[in-house]
Structure 1
């Protein structure tokens, strides 16, 4: 027996020497084959590894977190987990009142609205929906309706601003961009069957910080289906032309406001250089997702099979990765997808059915959130810390409109002019690279040269190192890109304050905002590569002998984001 112990001890020493001489590949995961639905990993350590990221993400994106929707109990559960971890790691509180938390004053606005013409009344959430819960309270009586034309189509015929002034304007489509002609309207009715269906199912009103808007001139926005437009004009809507007058409408728009809990988690690793430790490099992600499916449970494997079928069809025909496959698309895409059939029997032969109603948000943005924790544990373990301080911020309410990052940058817990740069990570756990026919080392990069060319040069130089060499994709950073990704994540709120930013993402994938964004579908080796890249970027910027050079002047803080 004693000999066995001696041999075992010698083997352990040899293994330790081998490990010391040949560093383990940090991208290797501790599970072989298909990843499990549930997983409990070992305790995390200082090194950045796929195993650590897997341990953390299975916790943070578990069903018990209830989808982490901002303002709901699930988000409180998620932020409580982050707070416990940063406390254990030993970071310094950088929230409010000596805590790790910064309260964000969220509200839920529930609309109450009426529209009437003649003896008919239109019913909210049956005949029309409120397009924007941030809209202002308005009342209007006896206003004429005019059809303005199709918006969002270059060259389409539209009425003038003078024709729209003081009227209720009906347009076809629901554009993202502001249409100057509509600014003079008293109310806007967007005719869009697809968006009407989506908003009608939205259910619980909008989560927001109480809006600050012009209450005297802003138009009341509504979305209506074609059937309602036909009622208003009294003829089939397809026969209505720009300038056509409809009924005279009377209506109102108001809201009930319900206070909600919301909180950013903020922690700092103090720098080691007394001269520049008062400067900060921000590492950010968002701690929220979209909660529980309002329409109830769906069978998970069937949803996953359908989404993968959608993915194959759309990629084959367009070369693009689809997102939100359950939402209405173009008539052409509807024809492509009409023939999809899911063989439920074959799925049940593999495993029993599983009803699912939780939007887990493993990639969006569980990946960024636990990536920050992994980086925090790594940086905290260094015997010599970076020269500048590193500020870790887990923002709430990104999914509701970048709310937590807006609140933090308007109400910073450190002087914002002491922030030399910000790195934002959102959806870094999957990578659309292999799905686009590119490599499995794909990373979408945005914003890195928009404020500081030097920051972009640093990021590119770091990626030439042998341990990185990721495949950077800058296409979504292109000015005017229709996806507007540059404007859709938390880095924008730092950029609007003149802070140089870099946004790392894996881009779209078929499980975006689906019940199937779960920890078992994450690409942990690629996830680890992105976190290692982020570590090198932050370390380099924190140790520069100067602040990043800004090439553009600081914009006005309320400047609208321009892709």
Structure 2
């Protein structure tokens, strides 16, 4: 009986050795020369900085799709192709009026209408009521014993502090009442029956010409989903106009001083009869952007998914200068292409992954993680069956602020102690076996002032519960977000080594028996 058991065990060991040997063999398809070849194209003049919503971004998407096809990646069945398109909006003012007791307020002097947080519509109210910061939270509420049904609410932007910390978050960083802030406050007012809102920015006494022009036409923006949440329209009003509204019955200057220091309001609910008539109409131009996806179907676990991601957009062209984005994130984009090449060679040779591999380059990251937000809200593969997202954003440079002996042999890893206890074991094991990079976890500190965990596309997987690792070179100074982020600054030897390490981590996760455990709560807060 014991002898019979030895054979399966021996076969299992041989299989594991063959798998690991195969991983090493196919990782050699990832070369500095090929990374440079792709990066020289991605970060070229032709793509003009790849700003989301521009022709340069569309050219880059077409190039990545062509590479995925040439490599042999399959298109995504749900997309009937390689690109997941999502809408961006650009709005222009057509008509707006704000009448108070029959007198027309002046657009640009008394009020403006922020277009990307207002939809065409109108409201009427017979009373205004002051509700402080417009917050209703267990830790602090401006709505206690106040009835706003059928009325127009007036509130300040921001949220209160006490002893240097925000009351709601208990920290030096604000809560969701600051960001997304206005949308949450409007939804709260709507839920309490308010018909509209007048909003005051304590730090904006009047509207400068640029703000007024922005109130006539927006830049391109991503329409964050309201998920059926009811909201109301609003106008931003100047301090002088706000003072006229409340009159002598309300000490506006005193409340303004409190709002400037984010002091809590102890008395709210000031109410005044006032006929408010608001009309707003805007036109909309829709511009399509896209994420680019390709896949290698797995074998016995093909209904589980390993994602390899990077963003291919950058800052575009400004004042005649191209922001090339070679490191940010041409390096991650080309890393994804090269890892796809290595896995495709393995699959073609009969070494297909057990899980389905999805290679996804997203746009909109520099604008606010738009493309990954859209994917996470419209996934083409079940997120509960997505075992990991390995995100690569800036892996081609040496951090100019890193003054240690390992500057030519390191990578920052973010997410190792979050969501899954399997992550560091696998990543450290593969790195130790194949690449021996120094894995630096400093950006996983919850008190990291740079909040790196929230600043790239992995976050939109993490917020949905998908375990993530984010690989990053730490470049926050020097050429970061400058036109000088160019191909000649890349350290291709280190770049190749980092991409190979990510490849080996992906190989192991794609071929192990179990999906990654989801056993650690995400305690980093929110964006």
Return the TM-score normalized by structure 2: 0.69
The C-alpha deviation readout for 1:56-89, integer Å capped at 9, x for no partner, is 1121122221332233222210100001111111
1:260-339 mapped onto 2 (5 Å cutoff): 260-271=287-298, 274-293=299-318, 297=319
State yes or no: 1:437 paired with 2:403: yes
State yes or no: 1:211 paired with 2:179: no
Distance 1:201 1:448 in 2: 45
State yes or no: 1:177 paired with 2:176: yes
Contact 1:230–1:236 (CA under 8 A) maintained in structure 2: no
Distance 1:490 1:530 in 2: 19
Q: Identify the match of residue 498 of structure 1 among 447, 458, 465.
A: 465
State yes or no: 1:103 paired with 2:85: yes
Distance 1:504 1:201 in 2: 40
The C-alpha deviation readout for 1:111-152, integer Å capped at 9, x for no partner, is 66666768674545x88766672455564556648594799x
Deviation at 1:483, TM superposition (A): 4.1
Residues 365/109 of structure 1: CA separation in 2 closer, same or farther (3 Å cut): farther
Distance 1:508 1:111 in 2: 40
Distance 2:119 2:71 in 1: 45
Contact 1:487–1:561 (CA under 8 A) maintained in structure 2: no
Query: Which structure 1 residue ranges, 5 or more long, are not aligned?
Result: 1-44, 298-354
Q: What does residue 424 of structure 1 align with?
A: 391
Distance 1:513 1:114 in 2: 40
Q: What does residue 550 of structure 1 align with?
A: 518
The C-alpha deviation readout for 1:327-350, integer Å capped at 9, x for no partner, is xxxxxxxxxxxxxxxxxxxxxxxx
What's the secondary structure of 2:518's corresponding residue?
Answer: coil
Distance 1:491 1:479 in 2: 16
Residues 453/474 of structure 1: CA separation in 2 closer, same or farther (3 Å cut): farther
What's the secondary structure of 1:373's corresponding residue?
Answer: helix
Distance 1:447 1:218 in 2: 38
Query: Which structure 2 residue ranges, 5 or more long, are not aligned?
Result: 1-26, 161-173, 245-251, 259-264
Distance 1:134 1:560 in 2: 27
Q: Identify the match of residue 392 of structure 1 among 359, 380, 391.
A: 359
Q: What does residue 485 of structure 1 align with?
A: 452
Distance 2:426 2:510 in 1: 12
Q: Identify the match of residue 76 of structure 1 among 15, 36, 58.
A: 58
Q: What does residue 229 of structure 1 align with?
A: 239
What's the secondary structure of 2:68's corresponding residue?
Answer: helix
Return the TM-score normalized by structure 1: 0.65
1:363-374 mapped onto 2 (5 Å cutoff): 363-374=327-338
Residues 434/385 of structure 1: CA separation in 2 closer, same or farther (3 Å cut): farther
Residues 506/114 of structure 1: CA separation in 2 closer, same or farther (3 Å cut): farther
1:526-541 mapped onto 2 (5 Å cutoff): 526-541=494-509
State yes or no: 1:376 paired with 2:386: no
Q: What does residue 73 of structure 2 align with?
A: 91
Contact 2:159–2:177 (CA under 8 A) maintained in structure 1: no
Contact 1:48–1:375 (CA under 8 A) maintained in structure 2: yes
1:1-150 mapped onto 2 (5 Å cutoff): 47-94=29-76, 96=78, 98-110=80-92, 121-124=105-108, 133-137=116-120, 139-140=122-123, 144=128, 148=132
The C-alpha deviation readout for 1:202-252, integer Å capped at 9, x for no partner, is 764342247335564456475x8xxx4355437889974466989977655
Contact 1:146–1:170 (CA under 8 A) maintained in structure 2: no
Q: How many residues align?
A: 441
Distance 2:240 2:413 in 1: 45
Contact 1:109–1:207 (CA under 8 A) maintained in structure 2: no
The C-alpha deviation readout for 1:499-552, integer Å capped at 9, x for no partner, is 221122234523443333333333434333321221121011112122222215
Q: What does residue 402 of structure 1 align with?
A: 369
Deviation at 1:162, TM superposition (A): 5.8
Q: What does residue 189 of structure 1 align with?
A: 200
Residues 466/403 of structure 1: CA separation in 2 closer, same or farther (3 Å cut): closer
Residues 62/129 of structure 1: CA separation in 2 closer, same or farther (3 Å cut): farther
Residues 520/449 of structure 1: CA separation in 2 closer, same or farther (3 Å cut): same
Residues 158/100 of structure 1: CA separation in 2 closer, same or farther (3 Å cut): closer
Distance 2:333 2:505 in 1: 17
Distance 1:67 1:547 in 2: 37
State yes or no: 1:562 paired with 2:526: yes
Distance 1:199 1:370 in 2: 39
The C-alpha deviation readout for 1:16-51, integer Å capped at 9, x for no partner, is xxxxxxxxxxxxxxxxxxxxxxxxxxxxx9632333
Q: What does residue 8 of structure 2 align with?
A: none
Distance 1:135 1:150 in 2: 17
Distance 1:237 1:430 in 2: 52
CA-based RMSD of the aligned residues comes to 4.3
Distance 1:163 1:65 in 2: 55
